[in-house]
Amino acid sequence: MPTLSVFMDVPMMHKLEGTLLKTYKQDDYPDKMFLAYKVCMTNEGQPWVSLVVNKTRLQIAQDPSLNYEYLPMIGMKSFIQASLELLFGKYSQAIVENRVGGVHTVGDSGAFQLGAQFLKTWLRDAQVVCMISTQKEPYGIVFQDMGFTVYEYCIWDPKHLCMDSNIFLDVVEQMPRDCILVIGNITDCKWTQSQLAKLMLTIKNKRIFPFFDIPCQGLSTGDLEEDAEILQYFVSQGFEFFCSQSLSKNFGIYDEGLGMLVVATLNNQHLLCVLSQLMNYTQALWLNPPARGARIITSILCNPALQGEWKQSLKEVVENIMLIKEKVKEKLRLLGTPGSWDHITEQTGTHGYLGLSHQQVEYLIKKKHIYMPKSTRINFTCINASNIDYITQSINEAILFTKNS
């Protein structure tokens, strides 16, 4: 006998995937291009994976001595230690003093989910989260679901085509006391010593709690230490903070969804107390994190030869990205495209802003079947020898068309 479903009033959720990607998939044009993929791509248009990862994965799969018991709630301890040394440096004073630690998390957003849960309980005065990054970040919804009021700010200046540290300082100065400051990927934001001193003083005086995001250490400049410079500066100044450390992109194991919530405290006693509370929350969230990705990364980071191979692969990727950007800039110059394109090569990492208008983006999508966000922040690894001429010619055409219309 049929009965009414308890789910009959549940509507279909829209935008499960981005509207841009959905429109791209519905486009029947055979030579369409999508320049907004999240992952680092190869010249063949496939997700990049470090060669040493493939080699290590095979070795682990063939190891008969592996123990497949559940990991502890905190995660694989050797993975946590290796990740902390990657982030802060092997001989970091904070590591020596045992005032930094971490919890092995699931997925890129797992660290934010875990951190937000803790902050909601123990930072009772914190009602506001301010997020500053080079782009709109996906984890704002995590804080919103926890009941925080979330404000987002982008430090990209579309008028001057650069990252502006003054925007960052202005936002921090206007933030309310006792709030949470989520600092996204700001590698391209250049600081003077006086600006850093001002930033530190404001954060301290307003009792702002920093929450960093390190999504792809090593893939911005090719230098692991330089990519984590702002974080290392904060810890050297004795600040307490959380950090979401993602290790999926810089190893090329996106499907493993691997990360860590890093905790920096004033001393070891505080660290142990915080970690104990975080482990309590993991019981409700995922209990035990997955092991395979952590095994791969630990094997690489704890073996000097394998780590050297991995670091070299990062440098090669970054050099290739810079070469792509140089070629794009040069081709636009040779085409006589109006405007300066120096900002393309002044940005680091896989993604960067083209600096086009919304009208020009619409032209590229509708007329040339080249898909990119309205912000024009594209993945430069999507550009290769087979499509660079079409893309640069189309950009030139879009600018000339909108200029004359």
| Residues β-bridged to residue 93 | none
* pLDDT tens, position by position, 349-369: 999 999 999 999 999 999 999
* pLDDT tens, position by position, 209-259: 999 999 999 999 999 999 999 999 999 999 999 999 999 999 999 988 899
* pLDDT tens, position by position, 325-350: 999 999 999 999 999 999 999 999 99
DSSP tag of 47 = B
| pLDDT(15) > 80 | no
Pull the structure tokens for residue 246.
């993602």
**Coil, helix or strand for 214?**
strand
| Closest CA relative to residue 341, chosen from 349, 352, 351 | 352
CB-based contact 381:324 (threshold 8 Å):
yes
CB-based contact 308:98 (threshold 8 Å):
no
Instruction: Give the helix/strand (H/E) hosting 352.
Output: strand 351-353
| pLDDT(123) > 70 | yes
**Coil, helix or strand for 35?**
coil
Other C-beta atoms within 10 Å of 27: how many? 15
- Summarize the confidence of residues 308-337 as an average pLDDT: 97
More confident call, 12 vs 294: 294
| pLDDT(2) > 70 | no
Pairing of strands 128-133, 180-183: parallel
The predicted structure's pLDDT at residue 186: 84
| pLDDT(120) > 80 | yes
**Region for residue 315 given its phi and psi (left: phi exceeds 0; alpha: psi -120 to 50; beta: otherwise):** alpha
DSSP tag of 256 = G
* pLDDT tens, position by position, 40-99: 999 999 999 999 999 999 999 999 999 889 999 999 999 999 999 999 999 999 999 999
What whole-number distance in Å separates Cα of residue 155 and Cα of residue 150?
Answer: 16
Residue 241 φ then ψ, to 5°: -165, 170
| Closest CA relative to residue 74, chosen from 220, 269, 281, 237 | 281
What whole-number distance in Å separates Cα of residue 168 and Cα of residue 176?
Answer: 15
| pLDDT(185) > 90 | no
The residue ranges of DSSP E strands in 171-326, in sequence order, are 180-183, 209-214, 241-246, 258-264
What whole-number distance in Å separates Cα of residue 296 and Cα of residue 254?
Answer: 13
What whole-number distance in Å separates Cα of residue 383 and Cα of residue 40?
Answer: 11
Pairing of strands 351-353, 377-379: antiparallel
The predicted structure's pLDDT at residue 257: 83
The residue ranges of DSSP E strands in 29-78, in sequence order, are 33-34
- Per-residue pLDDT band at 103 (split at 50, 70, 90): very high
Q: What is the DSSP string of 145-171?
A: HTT-EEEEEE-EETTTTEE-HHHHHHH
380: which residues sit within 8 A by CB, 6+ positions away?
321, 324, 325, 328, 350, 351, 352
The predicted structure's pLDDT at residue 1: 57
Q: What is the CA radius of gyration of the chain?
A: 22
What whole-number distance in Å separates Cα of residue 264 and Cα of residue 53?
Answer: 29
The predicted structure's pLDDT at residue 59: 94
| Closest CA relative to residue 282, chosen from 110, 51, 79 | 110
CB-based contact 369:31 (threshold 8 Å):
yes
**Coil, helix or strand for 106?**
strand
- Sign of torsion over alpha carbons 123, 127, 132, 137: positive
